[in-house]
Amino acid sequence: MSILKRDKTFAQPVNWTTSFFIGAFHVGAILALFFFTWKAFALAVLLWWIAGSLGIGMGYHRLLTHRGYKTPKWMEYFLTVCGTLALEGGPIAWVATHRVHHQNTDMEGDPHSPREGGLWAHMGWILTGQAMHNNTKELLPFVPDLRKDRFHVWITKWHWIPVTFLGVLIFAIGGWSCLLWGLFLRTTVGLHATWLVNSATHMWGSQRFINSFWVAMLTFGEGWHNNHHAAAQAARHGLAWYEFDVNWYGIWALRVLGLAWDVKLPAVNSTETRTMIPAEVTKPQILLPALPKN
């Protein structure tokens, strides 16, 4: 599939506010390359894991969206705050958008279908068009669970506060090098890693959704996408020994500590570690609670 040919991105109005902030972070990421220090690099790696693994992978995705496991409310809220540090919006908008994606995967109604173009699937759907924001009415029926939680409603509205506070704190302690690496470059890399799950794993490969080793490494295990769409609620995405799934290791650690329970796993053969669910599925698994039809 051509990345630019007949891409929907170029037929939609620009979302100037979102585009400005994302553009500014990309500029900051480039400037970071001229302010390298090992301390700043280490900080960036740490925060990349906190925001991308604890926040997006374990929190927004496997816990809030798919309810692949249960955890104490304080831990759920902690993981949610970590998710806001990825600059991907609040939990209600993120979760609702992803649930819509699963219900209409690569079909009409999918917010970031590659059928509309590779750039659109990667980031065009955010930079242009009617991006799905926190209060979009079409999203609300998909998150009845989160709308009942006052914390999730509050943090969705004020999701920019934690990352802003973090930026001020980093600058006060580490100066420009730590700010550019720990906030701008780290966030930009994390954004593109998440976007690759929407674009690359839906565009290339012989299976309907491709299991991508390199995307999995950039997203702490979210790149095992064929496994995920075959068993959407499963808290574990990497199934074979070579399918490294850092997010699953984190959930496993929580379970060992008694901080995670009711962990949902894919059906497996008793003599193998591979999933029994066919790799090529005709429709993704419906989430629980059941989602409304469009």
Residue-level pLDDT at 156: 94
Phi then psi for residue 239, to 5 deg, are -110, -45
Residue in this structure with the two tokens 């998909």, named with its chain if needed? 142
Residue-level pLDDT at 204: 63
Q: Are 92 and 153 in contact (CB under 8 A)?
A: yes
Residue-level pLDDT at 281: 31
Q: Considering only CA atoms, which of 29, 9, 79 is closest in space to residue 192?
A: 29
pLDDT tens by residue, 159-217: 999 999 999 999 999 999 999 999 999 999 999 999 988 887 777 654 555 678 888 89
Residue-level pLDDT at 280: 30
Whole-angstrom distance, CA of residue 111 vs CA of residue 199: 12
Peptide bond into 289 cis (omega under 30): yes
SS3 call for 144: helix
Q: Are 239 and 50 in contact (CB under 8 A)?
A: no
Q: Give the predicted TM-score (pTM) of the model.
A: 0.86
Residue-level pLDDT at 293: 43
Angle between helices 186-203 and 38-49 (to 10 degrees): 50
Q: Are 226 and 208 in contact (CB under 8 A)?
A: yes
Residue-level pLDDT at 115: 78
Residue in this structure with the two tokens 């690569």, named with its chain if needed? 106
Q: Identify the segments of the chain with pLDDT beneath 50.
A: 1-3, 206, 269-294
Whole-angstrom distance, CA of residue 173 vs CA of residue 181: 13
Residue-level pLDDT at 73: 97
